[in-house]
């Protein structure tokens, strides 16, 4: 899509203007609100399709658009990834059972701006090992966000996430990454959740992107199922993910998808 304002770096990363942050806040807030509102519905006996129906209706009610419906043939307002599903789980008739952990990922378009966020939920009671995975994944995202400021590199973000996760003896998924966004869903750069300090493009004020680490209890390898979407851990180990959309400010990071209810972390 053509964007007349702002400029582009040599790596093809758009530098947005100060006024553009407001658009991203509106889109990010709606996506985060929807994730807040779906929380009380997550319970054993509920299907992932029912959760998606709620999300689809809620996006319409807000007068917004789902970015995922019609995206490369995808038909749903969310991705719902249960247990060993790493990402891009397709909502459907699958019944949640006690102890299931799930990521719900929503992307909305508000006035042309994209808000993309996901977080973890539990149906019923959380096992100790799932709780640890969810906590480490959440904290890994926050360590990545702590590395966001002008002059840092994308490798610094990946390194902060990877070193933390691997110190907990868990693994970072390599097959999927975060992405630039703004008035488009997926733009440069690829935001890797692993890497070496000082490598990759340098962050500049006005860059908008997601950080969305996927962490596995077992090995990092994934495979995509025959539906061409659902990505699972090859070793069937549990996987978790959290995602925020952020912007680089003069002195750090602006998180567009903060939970208005303070419910981003699953132990609210
Ligand atoms: N929201 C996902 C992301 O974080 C993308 C989902 S695309 C879909 O980038 F088609 F699978 F919905
Ligand atoms: Co994303
Ligand atoms: Co997403």
pLDDT digits (tens, 9 = 90+) for 240-250: 999 999 999 99
* Ligand 1 contact, 119 CB (< 6 A): no
Ligand 3 center–CA 118 separation, angstroms: 6
Q: Where are the beta strands (DSSP E) in the chain?
A: 7-8, 14-15, 65-66, 79-82, 85-87, 101-110, 113-122, 171-172, 178-180, 187-191, 208-211, 214-216, 222-224, 231-233, 239-241, 244-248, 253-255
Instruction: State the Cα–Cα distance between residues 164 and 145, nearest whole angstrom.
Output: 13
pLDDT by residue (tens digit) across 66-81?
Answer: 999 999 999 999 999 9
Pocket test for ligand 1, best of 74, 80, 107, 118 (most atoms within 8 A of CB): 107
Q: Where are the beta strands (DSSP E) in 83-207?
A: 85-87, 101-110, 113-122, 171-172, 178-180, 187-191
pLDDT > 70: percent of the chain: 97
Place of tokens 């693994």: 171
What residue owns the CA closest to ligand 1's atom 4? 116
Ligand 2 center–CA 215 separation, angstroms: 15
Residue 29 CB partners (closer than 8 Å, separation 6+)? 115, 256, 257, 258, 260
pLDDT band at 28 (very low <50, low <70, confident <90, very high): very high
At 1 the pLDDT is 47
Which fold is adopted by the domain 8-255?
Creatine Amidinohydrolase (3.90.230)
pLDDT band at 265 (very low <50, low <70, confident <90, very high): confident
The CA R_g of the chain, rounded to the nearest whole Å, is: 17
Nearest atom of ligand 1 to the alpha carbon of 78: 12
Residue 41 backbone class (left: φ over 0; alpha: ψ -120 to 50; beta: rest): alpha
Q: Domain segments of the chain: what residues?
A: 8-255
pLDDT by residue (tens digit) across 96-136?
Answer: 999 999 999 999 999 999 999 999 999 999 999 999 999 99
208-220 per-residue burial string, b: 16 or more CB within 10 A, e: under 16? bbbbbbbbbbeeb
What residue owns the CA closest to ligand 1's atom 7? 68
């Amino acid at each position: 899509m053509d964007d007349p304002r702002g400029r582009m770096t040599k790596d093809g990363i758009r530098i947005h203007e100060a006024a553009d942050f407001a658009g991203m806040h509106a889109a990010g807030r709606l996506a985060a609100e929807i994730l807040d509102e779906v929380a009380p519905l997550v319970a054993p006996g509920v299907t992932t399709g029912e959760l998606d129906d709620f999300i689809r209706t809620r996006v319409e009610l807000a007068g917004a658009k789902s970015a995922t419906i019609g995206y490369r043939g995808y038909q749903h307002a969310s991705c719902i990834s249960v247990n060993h599903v790493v990402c891009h789980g397709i909502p459907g008739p699958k019944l949640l059972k006690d102890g299931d952990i799930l990521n719900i990922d929503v992307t909305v378009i508000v006035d042309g701006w994209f808000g993309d966020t996901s977080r973890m939920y539990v149906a019923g009671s959380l096992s100790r090992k799932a709780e640890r995975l969810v906590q480490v994944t959440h904290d890994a995202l926050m360590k990545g966000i702590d590395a966001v400021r002008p002059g840092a590199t994308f490798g610094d973000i990946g390194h902060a996430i990877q070193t933390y996760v691997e110190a907990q003896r868990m693994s970072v998924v390599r097959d999927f990454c975060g992405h630039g966004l703004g008035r488009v869903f997926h733009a440069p750069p690829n935001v890797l959740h692993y890497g070496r300090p000082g490598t990759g493009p340098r962050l500049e004020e006005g860059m908008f992107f997601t950080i969305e680490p996927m962490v596995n209890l077992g090995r990092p390898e994934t495979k995509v199922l025959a539906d061409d979407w659902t990505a699972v851990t090859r070793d069937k180990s549990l996987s978790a993910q959290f995602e925020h959309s952020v912007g680089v400010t003069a002195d750090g990071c602006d998180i567009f998808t903060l939970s208005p209810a303070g419910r981003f972390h699953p132990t609210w």
